[in-house]
Amino acid sequence: MRRLTSFFTLLCSCTLTLAQTDCANPHDSNSDGAVTISDLLDLLGLFGDIDTDHDGVWDSVDECVDTGACNYAASPTEACAYIDVLGICGGGCEGDGDGDGICDDVDTCVGDLDECGVCNGPGPTEMEIESITILYDSVYLPQLEEWYVYEFGADTTFTYTCAPLFGDCGTVSYQGYDYATVLIGEQCWFAENLLSENFQNGDPIPAGLSDSEWENTQNNSLLGAVAVYGEDEGCWNGSPDIDACDPNQSLNEYGRLYNFYSVYDARGLCPSGWHVPTAGEWVAMIEFLGGFELAGDQLKTEYGWDGGFNGLNSSGFSGLPGGKRDQLGFFDGAGIEGSWWCSATQGYFGYYISLVDIGCPSYPGDCSTCFIDQFINRIGRSVRCIQDSE
């Protein structure tokens, strides 16, 4: 301690002297003309420690001494981190092939979307004829004493449109409604939510339930039930396009909401030859679309999502944020969430697939907009039908 005290005494003395005359200071180890913290650290290094990166932290307790790291001078000290390809310190992104500022491992398109929303696609290729003009002229034939009309030219105008990425399986008529369908991989799906008020055999599904009646479906012989978003008091509207709490508008936009007891009922909700998809069938479709991290934008509609979180609907699934009726009967989520039942349950919890308007925790892995989970069977959710496999 006495040696250090002497050093500080010399430092102060020489500083005063420097204010008047030049002083060759033996303690200016880096010869920069001033005795600073770096010189002090160099001197103290003689006593058993050094500061290699000159960040004011002894190497013995410094977690990062690599001056090539972007955070070597962090205070308090932290493990070394490096600039990634996006220019983010410690970001961890290893590639951005298209230079769009989105890391390749989460980028839904490494390249460019064409006019049809296809990644690196050819653009519009389907020729659509707009009009055909045929030109005629005539000449008088004296021998026949009549006019002869003949064609001497034709003009066709056409444009190129986007070819459908996914086919359909024809229109399905069921209980007074005509449903559009879409072929995704080898599966044929309804391209809109179910609207039925009856089971497949014609028995009516209990409807018009009050909040308390909806809440008690679990205690009422596991009663199946159906509702229209906003049909009862207690409703939240997040749709940017419609008043979802108006049941007439929400029915037209979202279809009906069913609790899981109606899904699990042996009388069935879907038409003959169709059924409510299993969790495995949902996963197969999602994997066909590239997995949970990529499927969301392909399943979501290009409109109707709050905050502009619309999708591309490149799959033709046309997933709208139809919300839900919660276990207490409250209508919630329209505009920000769409969820559909799977035909699987675990006790009082039914499995469902959900699309949301922002990032979400998910099963089986992290994803941007799509996940499978399980929750209370009294929840009212949308239903899609899938064709039976042959």
Number of neighbouring beta carbons within 10 Å of residue 3 = 9
Q: Are 279 and 344 in contact (CB under 8 A)?
A: yes
pLDDT band (50, 70, 90) for residue 145: confident
Distance of CA 151 to the CA centre of its chain: 57
384 pLDDT higher than 80: yes
> Would you call 144 helix, strand, or coil by DSSP?
coil
Spatial distance between the Cα atoms of 24 and 38, rounded to a whole number of angstroms: 17
Nearest to 65 by CA among 91, 92, 73: 73
pLDDT band at residue 13 under the 50/70/90 scheme: very low
pLDDT at 16 (0 to 100): 43
Greater model confidence, 166 or 103: 103
Main-chain dihedrals φ then ψ at residue 190, nearest 5 degrees: -65, 140
Average pLDDT over residues 73-101: 90
- pLDDT, mean over the chain: 82
Positive or negative, the CA dihedral 115, 121, 123, 124 is: negative
Inform me whether the pLDDT recorded for 331 exceeds 60: yes
Q: For residue 367, what pLDDT is reported?
A: 34
- Element at 342 (helix H, strand E): strand 337-346
The whole-number pLDDT of residue 3 equals: 41
Dihedral sign computed on CA atoms, order 368, 373, 375, 379: positive
What is the pLDDT at residue 142?
86
CA atoms within 13 A on the CB side of 193: 29
Paired with 68 in beta bridges are none
Average pLDDT over residues 318-332: 95
Q: Report yes or no: 336 and 306 within 8 Å, Cβ to Cβ.
A: yes
Please tell me the predicted confidence (pLDDT) of residue 46.
58
pLDDT tens digits for range 181-226: 999 988 999 999 999 999 999 999 999 999 999 999 877 667 899 9
Tokens of 81: 């981190």
* Residue 300 and residue 319 in contact, taking contact as beta carbons nearer than 8 Å: yes
Which whole number is the average pLDDT over 355-382? 59
Residue 205 sits at φ, ψ, to 5 deg, of: -90, 130
pLDDT beyond 50 at 15: no
pLDDT of residue 366: 33
Contact 317, 165 (CB under 8 A): no
Position 12 scores a pLDDT of 42
Structure-block tokens of residue 256: 């009906």
pLDDT recorded at residue 383: 96
- pLDDT tens per residue across span 22-81: 555 666 666 777 777 777 666 665 556 788 888 888 888 899 999 999 999 998 999 999
Per residue in 222-257, pLDDT (tens digit) is 789 999 999 998 999 999 999 999 999 999 999 999
